[in-house]
């Protein structure tokens, strides 16, 4: 598996990476691992002219246990927050993107479709659907002013984008109002001109104007300083297509027909009472989820409104299933995944890779392994090519057994203006960002 540019080259890691369909155990002494370690150590000593000025954990402070956990800088009085937008280079202007407008949604969709995250080998690029963007950017209490675009003044073309949405995130026993920052994108022709720091400062300013002082975000690049570093795992559902498009390779001593047999799944879920989540399930799912998430160090603090928005099935965007006990009618288990296709760049036969991403899963009665196997079965029924999952929460307990293979990119999680003394392990994290 190659990982040429990571972690320096690819921003938020597109997990659509080469995957051996029969993954070999990672060898710590492999050349790849040694190269990665050298790259990582170079990254740590690298200057971050922008990030060094921000209230984030700094590399120089790693291991300094005298620093307190919690906010890094106290909030400033609201009247001291800069009232006017940051300056852009003169050919460009700010725009607030109205995601209720079909036309604006299409403009954002096209900017991301052509310029957003690619894998290290530029074979795949995320292709978030318009319906997905509309869902991801309009949760309860969202702010239109946090959907920020940059246009070329002359042509009015949208050339850059960044967003925030409000969220309550619990860190240990403190629930903090935060912004979740996502969809940072600068048009390919405008890269390396230091536009990204201006966009980050502008979204931060608009977040401050709402009296919110913390944020959560992820990236495939190493910045000061990850609270944890996760890995994507991939479960082939359509191995032939994945191999044909170069997403995965035929394992050693494997034939195509043996590979197809290896990944074959039953036609329908096995668990009695396994069904799609409905509106009437929101209270029970909220209880189940809140209880489950409370065991992790960092997680969202979901209420019923959040669960209705984020987890009630939305066609082509998010799928949720639960187990209703046939005896007691109690909701005992829950699983969900969201739909994020990638464009396949330069393949004659295929243009879209249909990927499902594991979202939140809770098991209390059905073993998690069996629950996730049922999730794989419904994803296969819905014609997904691959099922992706991070090694967060309890996911490690099913990945290997359900034939997920490790991907070759890492996803780093960050908090803005909130210090965590020691990095967390992925299994201490209860947060999935889209």
Ligand X SMILES: CC(C)(COP(=O)(O)OP(=O)(O)OC[C@H]1O[C@@H](n2cnc3c(N)ncnc32)[C@H](O)[C@@H]1OP(=O)(O)O)[C@@H](O)C(=O)NCCC(=O)NCCS
Active site residues: 434
Distance CA 258, CA 370 (A): 23
Q: Least CB distance from residue 316 to ligand X, whole Å?
A: 22
Q: Least CB distance from residue 372 to ligand X, whole Å?
A: 27
Q: Least CB distance from residue 256 to ligand X, whole Å?
A: 34
Does the footprint of ligand X cover residue 184 (CB under 6 A)? yes
Q: Least CB distance from residue 345 to ligand X, whole Å?
A: 14
Q: Which residues pair with 433 in a beta bridge?
A: none
Question: Which listed residue (221, 250, 262, 433) binds ligand X by CB under 6 A?
Answer: 221
Distance CA 64, CA 415 (A): 18
Question: Which listed residue (5, 8, 9, 11) binds ligand X by CB under 6 A?
Answer: 11
Question: Which listed residue (26, 156, 191, 287) binds ligand X by CB under 6 A?
Answer: 191
Question: Which listed residue (108, 185, 389, 392) binds ligand X by CB under 6 A?
Answer: 185
Instruction: From 181-189, 225-233, 265-273, 311-319, give the range in contact with ligand X by CB under 6 A.
Output: 181-189
Query: Judging by DSSP bridges, how do beta strands 318-324 and 331-339 pair with one another?
Result: antiparallel
Which residue, 181 or 389, is less far from ligand X as judged by CB? 181
Which residue, 152 or 221, is less far from ligand X as judged by CB? 221
- Closest residue to bound ligand X by CB: 11
Which residue, 191 or 276, is less far from ligand X as judged by CB? 191
Q: Least CB distance from residue 418 to ligand X, whole Å?
A: 16
Binding mask 95-124 for ligand X (x = CB under 6 A): --------------------xxx-------
Instruction: From 29-37, 189-197, 367-375, 385-393, give the range in contact with ligand X by CB under 6 A.
Output: 189-197
Distance CA 380, CA 265 (A): 8
Instruction: From 149-157, 194-202, 278-286, 359-367, give the range in contact with ligand X by CB under 6 A.
Output: 194-202
Question: Which listed residue (37, 144, 157, 194) binds ligand X by CB under 6 A?
Answer: 194
Q: Least CB distance from residue 363 to ligand X, whole Å?
A: 30
Does the footprint of ligand X cover residue 192 (CB under 6 A)? yes
Question: Which listed residue (3, 6, 7, 12) binds ligand X by CB under 6 A?
Answer: 12
Question: Which listed residue (26, 82, 153, 193) binds ligand X by CB under 6 A?
Answer: 193
Q: Which residues pair with 344 in a beta bridge?
A: 124
Residue of 176, 204, 215 lying closest to 297 (CA atoms): 176
Q: Which residues pair with 276 in a beta bridge?
A: 321
Give the containing element (helix H, strand E) for 304: helix 304-311
Does the footprint of ligand X cover residue 66 (CB under 6 A)? no
Torsion of CA 403, 404, 407, 413, to 10 degrees: -150
Torsion of CA 28, 31, 32, 33, to 10 degrees: 30
Answer whether 331's CB lies under 8 Å from 284's CB.
yes
Does the footprint of ligand X cover residue 85 (CB under 6 A)? no
Distance CA 374, CA 356 (A): 14
Question: Which listed residue (150, 215, 219, 377) binds ligand X by CB under 6 A?
Answer: 219
Q: Least CB distance from residue 57 to ligand X, whole Å?
A: 14
Which residue, 11 or 426, is less far from ligand X as judged by CB? 11
- Three-class secondary structure of residue 8 per DSSP: coil
Neighbours of 89 (CB within 10 A): 11
3-state secondary structure 103-145: HHHHHHHHHHHHHCCECCCCCEEECCCHHHHHHHCCCCCCCHH
Question: Which listed residue (223, 230, 307, 434) binds ligand X by CB under 6 A?
Answer: 223
Answer whether 298's CB lies under 8 Å from 227's CB.
yes
CB burial string 291-322: b at 16+ within 10 A, e below: ebbeebbbbbebeeebbbbbbbebeebbbbbb
Does the footprint of ligand X cover residue 345 (CB under 6 A)? no
Answer whether 79's CB lies under 8 Å from 103's CB.
no
CB burial string 342-374: b at 16+ within 10 A, e below: bbbeeeeeeeebbbbbbbbbbbeebebebbbbb
Of residues 38-57, those binding ligand X (CB under 6 A): 48-51
Q: Least CB distance from residue 111 to ligand X, whole Å?
A: 9
Q: Determine the size of the site formed for ligand X (CB under 6 A).
A: 22
Residues that bind ligand X (CB under 6 A): 11-12, 48-51, 115-117, 184-186, 191-197, 219, 221, 223
């Amino acid at each position: 598996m190659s990982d040429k540019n990571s972690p320096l080259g690819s921003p938020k890691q597109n997990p659509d990476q080469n995957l051996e369909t029969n993954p070999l155990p990672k060898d710590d002494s492999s050349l790849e691992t040694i190269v990665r370690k050298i790259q990582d150590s170079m990254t740590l000593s690298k200057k971050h002219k922008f990030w060094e000025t921000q209230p984030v954990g700094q590399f120089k402070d790693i291991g300094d246990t005298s620093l307190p956990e919690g906010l890094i800088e106290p909030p400033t009085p609201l009247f001291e927050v800069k009232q006017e937008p940051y300056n852009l280079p003169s050919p460009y202007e700010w725009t607030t993107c109205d995601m209720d407008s079909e036309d604006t949604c299409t403009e954002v969709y096209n900017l991301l479709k052509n310029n957003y995250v690619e894998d290290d080998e530029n074979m795949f690029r995320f292709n978030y659907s318009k319906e997905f963007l509309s869902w991801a950017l309009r949760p309860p209490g969202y702010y239109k002013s946090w959907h920020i675009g940059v246009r070329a003044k002359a042509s009015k073309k949208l050339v850059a984008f960044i967003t925030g949405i409000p969220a309550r995130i619990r860190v240990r026993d403190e629930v903090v109002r935060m912004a979740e920052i996502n969809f940072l994108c600068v048009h390919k022709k405008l890269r390396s001109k230091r536009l990204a720091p201006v966009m980050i400062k502008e979204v931060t300013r608009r977040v401050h104007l709402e009296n919110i002082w913390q944020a959560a975000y992820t990236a495939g690049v190493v910045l000061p300083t990850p609270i944890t570093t996760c890995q994507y795992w991939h479960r082939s559902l359509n191995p032939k297509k994945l191999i044909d498009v170069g997403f995965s390779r035929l394992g050693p001593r494997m034939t195509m027909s043996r590979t197809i047999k290896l990944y074959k799944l039953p036609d329908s879920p096995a668990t009695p009472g396994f069904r799609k989540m409905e509106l009437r399930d929101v209270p029970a799912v909220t209880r189940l989820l809140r209880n489950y998430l409370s065991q992790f160090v960092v997680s969202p603090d979901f209420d019923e409104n959040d669960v209705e928005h984020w987890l009630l099935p939305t066609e082509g965007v998010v799928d949720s299933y639960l187990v209703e006990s046939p005896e007691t009618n109690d909701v005992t288990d829950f699983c969900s995944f969201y739909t994020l296709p990638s464009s396949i760049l330069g393949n004659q036969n295929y243009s879209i890779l249909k990927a499902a991403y594991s979202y939140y899963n809770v098991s209390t009665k059905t073993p998690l392994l069996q629950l996730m196997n049922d999730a794989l079965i419904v994803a296969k029924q819905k014609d997904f090519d691959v099922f992706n999952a991070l090694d967060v929460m309890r996911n490690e307990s099913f990945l290997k057994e359900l034939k997920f293979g490790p991907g070759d990119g890492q996803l780093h999680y960050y908090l803005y203006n909130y210090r965590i003394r020691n990095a967390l392990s992925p299994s201490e994290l209860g947060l999935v960002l889209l």
